[in-house]
Structure 1
Amino acid sequence: MKILKIICLTACVSFFTPSCKDNTNTTKPSTMNVFKKDKSYDWSPTESAPENYPIAVHSGTFFLNNSHVASIPDGGRTVQNGWGKQGSMWVVGDDVKPIPDRLNLTWLSYTENTFYTGDFDLPREKILNLFEEGFLNRMNQHTTYTGIVCGMAPGGVVSIWLIGAGKTTEVAHFQAKETEVAMKDFAPGAVISRNDYVNNRLEGLDDTKKQYLQREGITFGKWTAYRKRYAWKPVLIKDQEQNFHEVFIDYVNGEHLFTTGKNAILKDYHPLALPKYAKLYWKDKDNNLYGSKLWFDEAEITQAFSSLNGTATSKNLDLIVTVDKYNGGMTIVLKNDSDSIPIEKTKVKIFETKDYLKKSE
């Protein structure tokens, strides 16, 4: 008997459990790809929308070879959890599922009072490879993804990410088209018009979101522009260049990284979106652990990356964080091979985390 359960999650993706380990190390090369394509993983579907632009999912289904694999939670719940963030989970049947190759999706964008729909082919081979490769988490352990997130934004923008305890990776980006859905189908129990229904939901937003919408309006194209990538890496200087203890970065395109400072990827340049928010941890000479929270100014960081990327001989960029000798302040500079720009509008909070150190070691 199948069990239906709805789980609304507002916490970090660390609540996802790791998927099964790859046991294909001894598989012959000629059969490895076939085995991988037939393999199933422990993953769950979930939904996402920008914080200030709520939506409601009417229907969302993942398919493989035209057979149902999993459904995105629907039922009229207002979704505004943040771009690329984990939303609710609607789990039906087995937790272990194959990787889908298609997504059929319809939703209502409240700020536009518009329904969007689309039928999208997913890059299944790319998704399979990422599940197989996995990543290194903040505990210096190799793990893999445990969820597929479907994000919906104004203008019919759709992004798909893989999400796990320590990493979120975008795998696809689509454009949906406008459609119509009868109110009796979208909200069978509703006794008011669609306009009244939408207005009621918008009136229910908190004052901060209402003020944002009045000030900014609907910024069409924003979430597609966020996908622009630059070859960059974070660099820590404390007396001299040293390793981070841990690195936590939210990127504007919905991607996310939370990993140990021992992770080799931090030493190389990778095509990454712009940073939105970061938590950086380091140790001083006495082995005390310090942390910092950094809220980047979007306009400043966008201008700096765009400017230096256009003037560099090499396109590699270093985001250099220099901590003073008292661990009480820091300066941030973006640098290429010939020039640099100070990043001065970032809000920074530095703190000592002795209790955290004991828990993490």
Structure 2
Amino acid sequence: MRRNIIVQSFTLLALLFYCTSCNSKKTIDSMKEDSLFVWQPALTAPIYYPIEAKYAHVMVGTDMKISMGDTNVGYGVGNGFSTVDFSEGQGGLEIPTGLDVLWLSFAEKKYYHLKQRFSKSVQERLLRLFQKGYNHGESHYDCFVVTLLPGGKIWLSVSGLVHNTLVCDSLQAEETNMALQDFDKDYYNAFETLDSLCVVGLSSSKGALENLKKNGVPVGLWDKYAVRYPYDIKITFEDSKAMLKSESAWASDIDADATCYFPTGELYELKSYRGVQERAALKKFIFSWCVGDASFHGEFFFDEGEILKAYPEVFGDAGQMNPGELNIEVSKYNNLFKISLVSGTKRYQLQNTKIHVFKRHVDETDFNAQIIYNNHREINSKNIHFIGE
């Protein structure tokens, strides 16, 4: 499938402006022309539900549009991969203010269109996030991600290194009727029918055809992903000598920080969001710990069906939620794990989490690491996916 990079000429001129600092108290109404940020636009869709966009333009400021480079996408929800390269040396842009996109959903064989300026609240949230950054202001968002979902839903995110924040999950495109030759003449000449094109489009994403046969298009699934629950994430060790690597003498190692991954595409280091926080259900969790001179690295892949059932059972439904915890208990010998959701008197022990753990001595390289626990030998980690991620 084609991958095009189109940047309108007046956008490139705008990038020559110098990127100046921003007052954190600015709002959309008071924002000045010098409120510029270095960011890139990215278009994506769920891995098993890829799409092709006829066009995808991000509105910037009041009179500018950027054409997204990659229009045949299925990188995953919130995955901020951009083929449009705007470097810091080129200056900055104002915040995204709207979206104009027309796309074909291969799984649904439907066209969707949205042309809309973002609400004031969305624009102000984007402004705050670009100004504030993350990791206590030490890092900054550099990608604005548009995720196109089945049913015409659109999610907006901003991302940076090991960090992704969902900004808006309420945009809704309209289904539209059009002939394939009007969508793309080349595709019409090559495939003749929409059915043929969509089969090829799905085939370009590994597992998409098989997933469609098994799961269909569960349009309401992403609404479940977006539900946020008030909970903390805690790790406890039976061995009193064990400690998180981030709190040890090896805290500077690249794998030291515990990282949370969510089906909304959000991800962040746990240290940035300690305590009870409004979070989506956890999709994957990675953390490292030390016992003496031994270092352990664990990766936990939560079961989609189990967490979508357990979280509302423990924390409650929307409007009636109670705070709680996700507890991970590590055994004395670092090879058994008990994972529970707890809120008040409610407790749900998760049984279907896929886990593997590596062990090495702190003076050894990763090449010397040994697998000491793996309960999913039948499936490689890279092939573990949620249906709609």
Q: What is the TM-score normalised by the length of structure 2?
A: 0.75
2:174 is aligned with 1:177:
yes
Q: How does 1:68-107 map to 2 (within 5 A)?
A: 68-74=64-70, 77=72, 79-91=73-85, 94=90, 96-107=92-103
Which among 24, 43, 49 is matched to residue 53 of structure 1? 49
**Any idea what the Cα deviations from partners look like across 1:158-192, whole Å, max 9, x if unmatched?**
10100110211111121111113443443233313
2:276 is aligned with 1:269:
yes
What is the rounded CA distance, in whole Å, between the counterparts of 2:103 and 2:290 in structure 1? 47
**Any idea what the Cα deviations from partners look like across 1:66-110, whole Å, max 9, x if unmatched?**
4124222255x3x11111112342247946211021111111101
Q: Report the residue type matching 1:200 in the other structure.
A: V
**Any idea what the Cα deviations from partners look like across 1:244-268, whole Å, max 9, x if unmatched?**
63111211122111x2x6x3522x2
Q: Contact 1:36–1:128 at 8 Å: present in 2 too?
A: no
Which among 328, 333, 341 is matched to residue 334 of structure 1? 341
Which among 263, 270, 278 is matched to residue 252 of structure 1? 263
Which among 327, 331, 334 is matched to residue 324 of structure 1? 331
Q: How does 1:198-217 map to 2 (within 5 A)?
A: 198-206=198-206, 208-217=207-216
Q: Report the residue type matching 1:279 in the other structure.
A: I
What is the rounded CA distance, in whole Å, between the counterparts of 1:356 and 1:298 in structure 2? 37
Percent identical pairs in the alignment equals 23
Q: Which runs of 5+ in 2 are unaligned?
A: 7-17, 247-256, 367-389
Q: CA deviation at 1:127?
A: 0.4
Matched residue count: 330
**Residue matched to 1:12:** none
What is the rounded CA distance, in whole Å, between the counterparts of 1:32 and 1:55 in structure 2? 32
Q: Contact 2:40–2:82 at 8 Å: present in 1 too?
A: no
Q: CA deviation at 1:65?
A: 4.7
Q: Contact 1:134–1:143 at 8 Å: present in 2 too?
A: yes
Tell me whether 66-75 or 218-227 shows the greater mean CA deviation: 66-75
2:133 is aligned with 1:134:
yes
Q: How does 1:1-361 map to 2 (within 5 A)?
A: 22=21, 24=23, 34=30, 38-74=34-70, 77=72, 79-91=73-85, 94=90, 96-122=92-118, 123-136=122-135, 142-173=138-169, 174-190=171-187, 191=189, 192-195=191-194, 196-206=196-206, 208-239=207-238, 243=244, 245=246, 246-257=257-268, 259=269, 263=271, 265-266=273-274, 268-284=275-291, 286-310=292-316, 315-354=322-361
CA separation of 1:31 and 1:250: change in aligned 2, threshold 3 A: closer
What is the rounded CA distance, in whole Å, between the counterparts of 1:49 and 1:42 in structure 2? 23
What is the rounded CA distance, in whole Å, between the counterparts of 2:163 and 2:133 in structure 1? 9
Q: CA deviation at 1:120?
A: 2.8
Tell me whether 230-239 or 56-65 shows the greater mean CA deviation: 56-65
Matched residue SS, 2:226 = coil
Runs of 4+ more than 6 Å apart: 29-33, 355-359
CA separation of 1:356 and 1:21: change in aligned 2, threshold 3 A: farther
RMSD over aligned Cα atoms: 3.2
Q: Report the residue type matching 1:306 in the other structure.
A: P
Q: CA deviation at 1:322?
A: 0.9
Q: Report the residue type matching 2:75 in the other structure.
A: N
Q: Which runs of 5+ in 1 are unaligned?
A: 7-18
